[in-house]
């Protein structure tokens, strides 16, 4: 299934994400300040939100690991990253496509994104509580995102799994890189 021009879609997504972010910021009642960071390495809008949250505590290097699910390996830049996919329909669709090598790009220094050639089965559940290490499917753009820094979210994400390796690996990768994903 072909989609509209990716740049045009990303522009539309940027506007929608900005509107959601501004709406969320203006309705905050807890008094905590938020800061909107400008993009540092990609003009694309974030599928997981366009602003990183500020935090006085150090950012976690490794996410909590899960004991259930399907283990996968991600090879990028000669480095091996481990992760686990959950039992969602979208994860099962993705597992059927493995092994696969996909082009990924860094977005806002918080995530790596790849667009898929075709949509996957999307039955939810949708969630907005993204955490560093989450692997998510963003159905409006048929894309997968690996989140490696704190961020906010849009309400159309489905969690596919979690990275179980040290997330610092993602900070050292080039902005555009091919990643190979395999079972095991």
Q: What percent of the chain has pLDDT over 70?
A: 64
pLDDT above 90 covers what percent of the chain? 55
What pLDDT is stored for residue 153 in this prediction?
87
3-class DSSP assignment, residue 99 = coil
Confirm if 6 and 113 have CB atoms less than 8 A apart: no
Domains and CATH numbers, the chain: 6-183 (2.40.100.20)
Q: What is the mean pLDDT of residues 83-98?
A: 96
Q: What is the 3-state secondary structure (H, E, C) of 70-82?
A: EEEEEEECCEEEE
The answer on pLDDT for 59 being more than 90 is: no
Look at residue 46 in the predicted model and tell me its pLDDT.
Answer: 38
Position 67 scores a pLDDT of 52
State pLDDT tens for residues 16-30: 333 333 333 333 333
Using one digit for the tens of pLDDT, what is the confidence trace for 128-138?
899 999 999 99
> What mean pLDDT, rounded, does the chain reach?
74
The mean pLDDT of 104-109, rounded to a whole number, is 97
Q: Which burial class, exposed, middle or buried, applies to 159 when counting CB atoms under 10 A from its CB (0-12, 13-18, 19+)?
A: buried
**Is the model's pLDDT at 82 over the cut of 70?**
yes
pLDDT band for position 2 (cuts 50, 70, 90): very low
User: How confident is the model over 171-177, as a mean pLDDT?
Assistant: 97
pLDDT in tens, 132-156: 999 999 988 999 999 999 998 888 8
Cα separation, 155 vs 2, whole angstroms: 24
Q: Cβ of 178: how many Cβ atoms within 10 Å?
A: 13
pLDDT on residue 165: 97
């Amino acid at each position: 299934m072909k989609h509209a021009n990716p740049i045009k879609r990303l522009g539309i997504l940027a506007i929608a994400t900005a509107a959601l972010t501004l709406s969320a910021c203006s309705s905050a009642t807890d008094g905590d300040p938020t800061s909107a960071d400008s993009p540092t390495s990609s003009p694309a809008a974030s599928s997981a939100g366009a602003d990183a949250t500020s935090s006085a505590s150090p950012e976690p290097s490794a996410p909590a690991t899960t004991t259930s699910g399907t283990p996968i390996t991600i090879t990028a830049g000669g480095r091996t990253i481990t992760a686990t996919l959950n039992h969602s329909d979208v994860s099962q669709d993705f597992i059927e496509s493995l092994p696969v090598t996909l082009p990924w790009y860094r977005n806002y220094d918080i995530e790596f994104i790849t667009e898929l050639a075709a949509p996957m089965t999307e039955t939810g559940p949708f969630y907005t509580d993204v955490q560093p290490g989450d692997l998510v499917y963003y159905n409006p753009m048929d894309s997968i995102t690996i989140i490696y820094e704190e961020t906010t979210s849009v309400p159309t994400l489905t969690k596919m799994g979690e990275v179980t390796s040290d997330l610092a690996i993602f900070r050292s990768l080039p902005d555009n890189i091919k990643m190979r994903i395999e079972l095991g």
